[in-house]
């Protein structure tokens, strides 16, 4: 059921790779609620993914950008304002990648060049997005910028390795840039800490199925799906959340506040 809560709003959605992507579901939801946007992804992902199908469904233009490149980001923001006919009201940063995880490196055997790549792609790119948008004065007052995080920023997970540091940095950037951007332009910056979700990025982590099931049992409401996340992001882009900024918002069915649950007790009772 659509309510038009994003009617008249314009933005950019990063990170839709295929129909499982959180960004993909978000694009569909934002469109349904009346928002208009450009879609973007890294040029290499664009060749592998199906972003053009999504673009058709959302009546959106695709503008390739490697989120680690300030030049690409400058081009993306400038072109988006051109295409959409003015400044923007929302940005979704839905980007994550660790070469160490991809290549199965253990936490005690990190390749540091790759570690820096993880941080650059998954965290620093968020700062670049914010800095480029500020320098171009690309965002309207009360615009909302959201990035996606994971609870491994606060708690240790053996197989999440260097992505844990990337998420901690991402959340820290949301606080620091949120303070600056709020003061200067009334722009809001938040991260949403999402349940484990079956996507390309999620399934790339070894043992994913086990911690997906564990999180499901530890969450009174169960794991939040990608569609649930898309709904939450949509509300965060709307005027109904105007005073929310500099937060890491838990979107996890109650996981982060649970000590143990009945279903886990049942499972572990011998
Ligand atoms: N899937 C989960 O379990 C889960 C849980 C919590 C948070 N998240 C976060 O949600 C976000 C979206 O991930 P997803 O689960 O939808 O997976 P996904 O694989 O569909 O999306 C990740 C996206 O990052 C893009 N990307 C990688 N390098 C890039 C670059 N240099 N420039 C631009 N884009 C680049 C990929 O092309 C892809 O579209 C990520 O930040 C991820 O860490 C995922």
Q: Where are the domains of the chain?
A: 10-268
Strand ordering across the sheet containing 248-251 = 61-62, 36-40, 10-14, 88-93, 139-149, 188-194, 248-251
Find tokens 């011998």 and name the residue.
270
Question: How far are the Cα atoms of 53, 192, 211, 212, 223 from residue 195, in angstroms, in the given order?
Answer: 26, 10, 10, 8, 6
- Distance of CA 266 from the midpoint of ligand 1 (Å): 34
Using an 8 Å Cβ cutoff, are 117 and 150 in contact? no
CATH topology assigned to domain 10-268: Rossmann fold (3.40.50)
Mean pLDDT of 43-54: 87
Residue 49 has pLDDT above 80, yes or no: no
**Predicted pLDDT at 211:** 85
Evaluate if residue 126 carries a pLDDT over 90. Answer: yes
Q: Judge whether residue 60 has pLDDT over 90.
A: yes
Average pLDDT value for residue range 17-22: 95
- The reported pLDDT for the residue numbered 38 is 98
* Whether the predicted model's global pTM rises above the 0.85 cut: yes
Give yes or no for residue 178 CB within 6 A of ligand 1. Answer: no
191 in contact with ligand 1, CB cutoff 6 A: no
Q: Is 42 near ligand 1, meaning CB less than 6 Å away? A: yes
Q: What is residue 82's predicted lDDT score, i.e. its pLDDT?
A: 98
Over residues 99-124, the mean pLDDT reads 97
* Residue 270 pLDDT: 84
Is the beta carbon of 21 within 6 A of some atom in ligand 1?
A: yes
Mean pLDDT of 105-110: 97
Give φ, ψ of 132 to 5 degrees.
-60, -45
Is 123 near ligand 1, meaning CB less than 6 Å away? no
Q: Please give the average per-residue pLDDT across 102-124, as a whole number.
A: 98
């Amino acid at each position: 059921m659509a309510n038009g809560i994003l009617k008249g709003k314009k933005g950019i959605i990063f990170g839709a790779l295929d129909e499982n992507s959180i960004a993909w579901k978000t694009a569909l939801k934002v469109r349904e609620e009346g928002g208009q946007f450009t879609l973007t992804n890294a040029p290499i992902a664009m060749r592998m993914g199906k972003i053009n199908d999504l673009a058709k469904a959302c009546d959106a233009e695709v503008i390739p950008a490697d989120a680690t490149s300030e030049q690409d980001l400058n081009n993306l923001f400038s072109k988006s304002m051109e295409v959409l006919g003015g400044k923007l009201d929302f940005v979704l940063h839905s980007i994550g990648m660790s070469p160490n995880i991809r290549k199965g490196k253990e936490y005690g055997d990190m390749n540091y060049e790759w570690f820096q790549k993880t941080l650059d792609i998954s965290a620093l790119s968020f700062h670049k997005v914010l800095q480029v948008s500020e320098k171009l004065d690309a965002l309207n007052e009360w615009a909302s910028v959201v990035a996606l995080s994971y609870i491994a920023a606060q708690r240790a997970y053996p197989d999440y390795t260097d992505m844990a540091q990337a998420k901690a940095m991402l959340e820290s950037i949301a606080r620091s840039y949120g303070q600056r951007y709020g003061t200067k332009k009334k722009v809001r910056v938040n991260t949403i800490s999402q349940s484990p979700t079956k996507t390309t990025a999620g399934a790339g982590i070894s043992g994913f199925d086990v911690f997906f099931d564990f999180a499901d049992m530890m969450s009174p409401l169960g794991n939040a799906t990608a569609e649930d996340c898309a709904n939450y992001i949509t509300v965060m882009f709307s005027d109904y959340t105007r005073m929310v900024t500099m937060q890491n918002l838990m979107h996890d069915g109650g996981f982060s506040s649970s000590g143990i649950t009945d279903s886990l007790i049942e499972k572990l009772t011998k």
